[in-house]
Amino acid sequence: MERPNYITPAGYAALRAEYEALFAKERPALVDTIAWAAGNGDRSENGDYIYGRKRLREIDRRLGWLSKRMKAAKVVDPAQAPDRARVFFGATVTIADEDDNHRTLTLVGDDEADAGKGLIGWNAPLARALRGAAVADLRRVALPAGEREYEVIAITYPGG
């Protein structure tokens, strides 16, 4: 059995918006272009036709992936977290490493992770290490660069 695909309401809305844009706008426009290009004769040397078919396969593959991810999604609203004193899904956590470097991270669904924006996937090694931690807890995590220890400095949730 697969792990649940936890996702925030905003993350689910982003997946849905991408699906709608591809399905309702980009795909129909591409089908029209392919039909026009096919009517121009020899398809073997027709760039619009060849590129259009390739792009259509990419869109269909992405639509299938998005559909599967949305069906498996379990939307969790972090604002409804029952225990705001511990790190759970949707928490924004400030941590300090051994060198007293502070980082602020938000634990989100794997589909909405963006390390550059401080959003780490729920199943990432650091997120797994932080789960259930309270302020002042020390957590050790094995990272590609080696093992590090982090102290939880602050925990916040949206809406409170």
- pLDDT tens string 24-42: 999 999 999 888 888 887 7
- pLDDT tens string 62-111: 999 999 999 999 999 988 888 889 999 999 999 999 889 999 999 999 98
Could you give the C-alpha distances from 3 to 45, 46, 52, 138, in angstroms and in order? 46, 45, 36, 26
Predicted structure pTM score: 0.79
The Cα–Cα gap between 64 and 51 comes to: 20
- pLDDT tens string 56-74: 999 999 999 999 999 999 9
Q: What is the pLDDT of residue 1?
A: 46
Question: And the tokens for 108?
Answer: 């989100």
- pLDDT tens string 108-157: 999 899 989 999 999 999 999 999 999 999 999 988 888 999 999 999 99
Question: And the tokens for 154?
Answer: 């602050």
